[in-house]
Structure formats: structure tokens, C-alpha cells
């Protein structure tokens, strides 16, 4: 048995381990309707797929941001019911960007437990190229918790290590340029306000700006790929 994404289904214990929570937590979220029911397999065993993993990761991210259970329920109700795992992952990335960088230092065994699979040296090298992990001391790594899930999803994408590094340089260069220009634009708006007003404006603008950048980038990338594919088909 495999899921629609071609991955082997998970038991509730495996789902909990993949998400770094307890089985009790999974059952609690399911009981509140935050997680869809599993597919029931042989011997009445529940099977969970990528959608459950992505949704559980989003719930945990919202919880870590300090949202109440009621607020999480409202957030999830606003999402399209058929949102695929990668769509949930995008939402989680946006939510994670509201908080300060969350880096941890973990041994390789714990890193592999969190991603739910053994990691080869090539996997580690690719994650390092994406700046998701950084070798720290011996067999331990500094991990960007906000990027880890997305980085793991990209491990099997057929891109060379050189392409990953080049793509990261492009993203860093242009995101810094955009951040610099936006900061310059907003600086004039807050120049005459007191510190509390500045903090309030920053807290409200940060998620809005991130969402706007994400939406604009997705649209631009889709248009670029469409033009490229159209040109390839007629060339």
C-alpha cells in the first residue's frame, strides 16, 4: 500500500515520530477535527499520508507561534479543503517566517528521526547547500527548524548540487535587495513615531509583506515556467 504521493503510509506512531510529537497529541488534534481521519487498512489499522504530516507540522508551527487552539481551528477552516501537502508546507513556511530564526544543535541520529529517514552524506551535503543544516561539532549539526521539512522535500528533486547553490545565491541576493528597499520605504513612515508604534507596525507588516512576496514570487515563477515551456514546445 502506498499513498497518492507514492510514499508508504504511516501508522499513528510513525506519524507522531515524524512530527516530533506524542501519539496522545496526534489523537487530541484528530479528536478536535484538526486532522482528517486516517485511511483504515487491514486489521483496522489507521494509515496516514503526506497530507497528515504536512497538516500536523502546520498545526505545531501555529502552536509554537503562541496561537490558541480556537485560533488554530479558525486558521485551518480558512484553508481550502483540498489543499495538497506542498500547499500546507508553504503556509507553514510563511507562519515560521513570522518568528525569529529557530536554530537548534542536534546529533545526526536526532536529525534523521525528525526527517523520518536515514540521511546519506549526499543528503547532508544538499541540505547544507540549502543552508538547512550546518556541520557543528563531530556528528552534530545546527539545524534551521523552520526550513528542515521543506529542505527534506527537496532532497529528491533532480537538481545538481551546483544548481542548488546557485539558486540559493540568487534567492539570497534578491531577497536582501527587496528587504533593503522595503525597509527604506517603511523607514519614512515610522521616523516620527515612538518605539511602541514602530514595534506594532513591524508586527503587523511582517506577515503581510512575507505573504505578498511569496504570492508575487509564485506568480512570477509560474509565468516564467509557462513561457519557457511554451517556447520549448514550439522550438
> 137: how many CB neighbours lie within 10 A of its CB?
9
pLDDT of 194 strictly over 60: no
Residues 114 and 146 sit within 8 Å (Cβ to Cβ): no
Confidence of residue 3 (pLDDT cuts 50, 70, 90): very low
d(CA 145, CA 105): 10
Compute the residue count for the chain: 235
Residue 48: its pLDDT value, please? 93
Share of the chain above pLDDT 70, in %: 75
Average pLDDT, the chain: 78
Distances from the Cα of 3 to the Cα of 9, 38, 41, 133, 172, angstroms: 6, 11, 12, 28, 35
Confidence of residue 34 (pLDDT cuts 50, 70, 90): very high
3-state SS record for the chain:
CCCCCCCCCECHHHHHHHHCCCHHHHHHHHHCCCCCCCEECHHHCEEECHHHHHHHHHHHHHHHCCCCHHHHHHHHHCCCCCCCHHHHHHHHHHHHCCCCCCEEEEEHHHHHHHHCCCCCHHHHHHHHHCCCEEECCCCEEEEEHHHHHHHHHCCCCCCCHHHHHHHHHHHHHHHHHHHHHHHHHHHHHHCCCCHHHHHHHHHHHHHHHHHHHHHHHHHHHHHHHHHHHHHHHHC
Residues 221 and 229 sit within 8 Å (Cβ to Cβ): no
Residues 115 and 148 sit within 8 Å (Cβ to Cβ): yes
Residue 104: its pLDDT value, please? 82
pLDDT of 102 strictly over 80: no
Residue 119: its pLDDT value, please? 92
Across 80-89, 134-143, 222-231, the highest mean pLDDT is recorded for 134-143
Confidence of residue 49 (pLDDT cuts 50, 70, 90): very high
d(CA 50, CA 112): 17
Across 75-84, 167-176, 189-198, 207-216, the highest mean pLDDT is recorded for 75-84
Q: Which residue has the higher pLDDT, 65 or 40?
A: 40
d(CA 200, CA 197): 5
Residue with cell 541576493: 173
State if pTM tops 0.75: no
Residue 4: its pLDDT value, please? 45
Amino acid at each position: 500500500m502506498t499513498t497518492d504521493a507514492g510514499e508508504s503510509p504511516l501508522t499513528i506512531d510513525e506519524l507522531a515520530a515524524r512530527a516530533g510529537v506524542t501519539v496522545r497529541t496526534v489523537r487530541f488534534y484528530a479528536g478536535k477535527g484538526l486532522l482528517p481521519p486516517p485511511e483504515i487498512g487491514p486489521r483496522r489499522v489507521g494509515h496516514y499520508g503526506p497530507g497528515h504530516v504536512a497538516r500536523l507540522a502546520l498545526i505545531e508551527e501555529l502552536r509554537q507561534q503562541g496561537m490558541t487552539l480556537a485560533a488554530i481551528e479558525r486558521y485551518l477552516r480558512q484553508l481550502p479543503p483540498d489543499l495538497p501537502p506542498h500547499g500546507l508546507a508553504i503556509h507553514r513556511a510563511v507562519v515560521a517566517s513570522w518568528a525569529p530564526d529557530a536554530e537548534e544543535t542536534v546529533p545526526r541520529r536526532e536529525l534523521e528521526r525528525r526527517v523520518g529517514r536515514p540521511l546519506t552524506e549526499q543528503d547532508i551535503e544538499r541540505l547544507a547547500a540549502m543552508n538547512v543544516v550546518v556541520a557543528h561539532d563531530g556528528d552534530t549539526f545546527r539545524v534551521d527548524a523552520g526550513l528542515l521539512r521543506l529542505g527534506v522535500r527537496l532532497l529528491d528533486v533532480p537538481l545538481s548540487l551546483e544548481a542548488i547553490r546557485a539558486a540559493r545565491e540568487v534567492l539570497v541576493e534578491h531577497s536582501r535587495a527587496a528587504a533593503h528597499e522595503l525597509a527604506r520605504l517603511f523607514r519614512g513612515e515610522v521616523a516620527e513615531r515612538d518605539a511602541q508604534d514602530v514595534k506594532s507596525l513591524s508586527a503587523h507588516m511582517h506577515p503581510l509583506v512575507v505573504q505578498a512576496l511569496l504570492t508575487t514570487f509564485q506568480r512570477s515563477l509560474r509565468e516564467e515556467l509557462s513561457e519557457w515551456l511554451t517556447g520549448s514546445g514550439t522550438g
